Amino acid sequence: MHWYILKRLAIVPLMLFLFSVIAFALIQAPPGDFLTSYIAELAQGGSSLDQAQIDALRRQYGLDRPIYEQYFLWVGSLLKGDLGISLEWRRSNAELIGERLLLTLALTTGSLIFTWLVAIPIGIVSATRQYSAVDYLFTVLNYVGLATPNFMLALVLMWVAFDRFGVSVTGLFSPEYAQAPWSWARFADLMSHIWLPMIVLGVAGTAQIARVVRANLLDELGKPYAEMARAKGLPEWKLVLKYPTRVAIAPVVSTLGWYFPQLLSGGLVVSVVMSLPTVGPLLLRALVGQDMYLAGTIILIFCVLTVIGTLVSDILLAVLDPRIRMDAA
């Protein structure tokens, strides 16, 4: 078990290195040197940076040096905890990202938990009552859930809430708490707002994961060990919950590897539509405004979160499936 986790941990630095290269490549992707184009853009808008600021930026990002040096400079300052400053906002990136990151995490993990809590029971019911009305109903819901872009769902829900009930369900805080320091009241306010985006974000994933559970469980239920458990005299529901479900849930845990990035992606879109103060809209604005260092930093943060997610799923998988932890030992 410890060996297995150590082995997984050993891959992490490599992944992080590759991701940082990708993020840096994305920063460099727009044609031209970002500072020059930025100054040009500012000039168009009638404002400008003074020469001292420009020089400071040039030095900070080493724009006059070769590209690999620029990379190491960037990574070096990231490792020192310096996320740089945003040209557009004229504030430090760390300050901009700070609370938004926390809210992003809250939204994403909340959505993840919602997905599992809903998808796994649906999958089990669908598999054990195969071809029943319930199974068909869930199948239909699954297809519709998969086909509906989450921003559509968000827009429709917002519209209905506004049109029927006259409430605006955007944002994560009521106005009086938006800028307030953290307190229990603010937390409660967050909870009263976050559930809707959480569900909106989780619907498509719930559909997918319920299908994974259903398919796996159907497979497992046909296996000899399930029949053997029946022959032992185990009641059917106990049998389903104890043996095949545990085997069928293992692949669900490993879906975390791709589901987590998908949630971060989807969270971006939902946040834009529902005006949620998460990292997503910030990234979008940074990209539109070509504030590439801010954008690159956010993308790298997303990648780091994914690496953590994968690691967690690997460890959970080893806890659930002895074959994996023994194999690695």
Partner 1 sequence: MSERERGGEPVLSVRDLKTHFRLDEGVVRAVDGVSFDLYPGEVVGIVGESGCGKSITMKSILRLVQPPGRIVGGEIRYRRPEPVGEARRRYKPFEADLARLPPQGRRMRQVRGGDIALIPQEPMATFSPLHTIGEQIVEAIRLHEPMPKARAREVAIAKLREVGMPSPEQRFSAYSWQLSGGLRQRAIIAMALACNPSVLIADEPTTAIDVTTQAQVLELLKRLQADHGSSILFITHDLGVIAQVADHVVVMYLGKVMEQGPVSDIFHRPRHPYTRALLKSMPSLHSEPRVALPTVAGSIPHPLHRPRGCAFHPRCPDFMPGRCDVRVPALSAAGGRSPVACFLHHDEVEGGGHDA
Partner 2 sequence: MQPGSELVPVEKTDRVPDGAGESAEVVAAGPAVYVAPAWKLTWWRFRKHKLAVACLWVFAVVALIALAPEFFATQDPNATAASNAYIPPQTVRVLHEGRVTWPFVYGVRGERNQRTLRMEWALDEETRYPLRLFARGYPYRLFGLIPTDRHLLGFEGATGRDTPRLLGTDRLGRDQWSRLMYGTRISLSIGLVAVALSTVLGIVLGGVSGYFGGWVDNVIQRLIELLQALPPIPIWLALSASLPRTWPVTWVYFAITVILALLGWTRLAREVRGRFLSLREEDFVTAARLVGASRSRVIFSHMVPSFTSHIIAAVTLAIPLMILNETFLSFLGLGLRPPAISWGVMLQEAQNLQSVVNAPWLLIPGLLVIVTVLALNILGDGLRDAADPYSS
**DSSP result, 199-256:** HHHHHHHHHHHHHHHHHHHHHHHTSHHHHHHHHTT--HHHHHHHTHHHHHHHHHHHTH
Q: Select the binding partner of residue 266 from partner 2, partner 1, none (C-beta < 5 to 8 A, by kind).
A: partner 2
Give the amino acid at 286: A
Residue with tokens 């849930």: 249
Residue 316 exposure: Cα atoms within 13 Å on the Cβ side:
17
Residue with Cβ nearer partner 2 (119 or 153): 153
Query: Which residues would be at the binding site for partner 1 (CB under 8 A)?
Result: 223-225, 227-236, 243, 246-247, 250, 320-323, 326
Q: Select the binding partner of residue 147 from partner 1, partner 2, none (C-beta < 5 to 8 A, by kind).
A: partner 2
Residue with Cβ nearer partner 1 (167 or 231): 231
Shortest Å distance, C-beta 235 to partner 1: 6
**For residue 282, which of 120, 144, 97, 99 has the smallest C-alpha distance?**
97
Shortest Å distance, C-beta 218 to partner 2: 11
Q: Select the binding partner of residue 234 from partner 1, partner 2, none (C-beta < 5 to 8 A, by kind).
A: partner 1
Query: Which residues would be at the binding site for partner 2 (CB under 8 A)?
Result: 15, 18-19, 22, 26, 29-31, 143-144, 146-149, 151-152, 155-156, 158-159, 162-163, 168, 170, 222, 257-258, 261-262, 264-266, 268-269, 272-273, 283-284, 287-288, 290, 295-296, 298-299, 302-303, 306-307, 310
> Backbone dihedral region of 91: left (phi > 0), alpha (psi from -120 to 50 degrees) or beta?
beta
Overall size of the chain counted in residues: 329
Residue with Cβ nearer partner 1 (4 or 34): 4
Question: How many Å apart are CA 208 and CA 214, to the nearest integer?
Answer: 10
Q: Select the binding partner of residue 13 from partner 2, partner 1, none (C-beta < 5 to 8 A, by kind).
A: none
Q: Select the binding partner of residue 304 from partner 2, partner 1, none (C-beta < 5 to 8 A, by kind).
A: none
Question: How many Å apart are CA 78 and CA 297, to the nearest integer?
Answer: 9
